[in-house]
Amino acid sequence: MKRFSGEIGTILIVDDEPQNIQVVGTMLAAFGYDFMIAKDGAQAIERMEAKTPDLVLLDLYMPEMNGFEVCEKLREIDGMDDVPVIFLSADNDKNTIVKALESGGVDYVTKPFNKAELLARVRTHLELKNTRDECSDLLTKTEEYLEVMAHDLKNWVGSASFSAQLLESMKDLPENATKVAKTISESTGKSLDFIEEFLANARASRTELDLDIRPVDLTQLCQTSHRLCTSLAQRKDIDLKLSLPGENVVVKSDRDAVDRILENLLSNAIKFSPPGTTVSLTLSDSPVEIVVKDEGPGFSEEDREKIFEPYVRLSAKPTGDEVSTGLGLSIVKHLTDHLAAELEIRNPETGAEIALRFPETSGD
């Protein structure tokens, strides 16, 4: 399925030299490409905000705003994240080429260019973009299908769980039947926990966040999360400690997003901590950060490379036979990326330590 806005792609040509635009435009039109033109960086931004192209041919040296600046600004425009940018310039200095690629370009063609070469690169990057878009569509449809399946499974497993619990409650049931009913009840209970966690995290990972940024009392949120997770920790004989500064810490953020991050960090720490150990939740006011630390196995070097990837199981295993979808930390990263906050994985001598750091701004 083609995702191009034109028949075979719409290309934005950005160049302050009319002759260059004419040469490139004539070449593209001859091969059936639609194109837009912009004579400078400001006009290019205006064009891209009005209509998202499938590829950008960007001159490097222009007055007022050079190609580096244009490329960086276009990445801030909604829908332009994955649009390929090919730089065109007479400057063949290797440092310049590296800087162009680091600013967000996918390719660099020196002037005067060979028309066949430029056309081949344009075609290649359009095909790559089309493939990425198709893969993204396939992934979305697969995730939606899995959610539908999970919803159906939830109903079927829930029915089996309820029936098993009824059997367990019956009097004068043979001992073997009681054991079987208990096994079914435990297994279906864990299955339901897994399905519930999968659905909650899958929805969060696919949802475009509509953030409600307002003053958020981090002290209050930490107290609430500590209270809600205490019973979970107690069932594993884990001491869940809370450390707060003398005064309430207020920042501008999204309350629900921060609450979800804390829930995932604490439940993960408890899930992977051995019984009889300690999990600590610490809020600091300088710098403003929330730190969750446990005494579990921590993260291996291999874990750290893929720690935020969805559906990836790390080397550590839950210590109480709890369910794990492999989505918890990817959701934390997803939410953090949408907030004005930073996530840091630290490497203490023992266990794991994750810090959520907020900017030094008041919530007033």
Cβ–Cβ under 8 Å, residues 358 and 289:
yes
pLDDT given for residue 138 in this prediction: 84
What is the mean pLDDT of each successive set of 10 residues along the chain, which is 364 residues long? 55 92 90 90 90 91 89 84 90 91 90 89 92 84 76 81 85 84 84 75 59 90 93 92 93 90 90 93 92 90 80 76 70 84 86 88 55
- Per the DSSP assignment, residues forming a β-bridge with 89 are 110
pLDDT given for residue 311 in this prediction: 67
The pair of three-digit structure tokens given for residue 169, joined into one six-digit string:
């409650």
Region 10-113: CATH code? 3.40.50.2300
pLDDT given for residue 307 in this prediction: 81
Instruction: Collapse the DSSP code of 79 into the 3-class scheme (helix H, G, I; strand E, B; otherwise coil) and give the result.
Output: coil
How far is Cα 358 from Cα 285, in angstroms, rounded to an integer? 10
pLDDT given for residue 1 in this prediction: 39
What phi and psi, each to the nearest 5 degrees, are found at residue 295? Answer: -115, 30
pTM: 0.54
pLDDT given for residue 63 in this prediction: 86
pLDDT given for residue 355 in this prediction: 93
- Per the DSSP assignment, residues forming a β-bridge with 13 are 37, 57
How far is Cα 149 from Cα 158, in angstroms, rounded to an integer? 14
Superfamily of domain 213-357: Histidine kinase-like ATPase, C-terminal domain (3.30.565.10)
Instruction: Collapse the DSSP code of 326 into the 3-class scheme (helix H, G, I; strand E, B; otherwise coil) and give the result.
Output: coil
pLDDT given for residue 36 in this prediction: 92
How far is Cα 191 from Cα 328, in angstroms, rounded to an integer? 17
Alpha-helical regions (H) of 209-283: 218-234, 255-271
Output Rg (C-alpha) for the chain, integer angstroms: 27
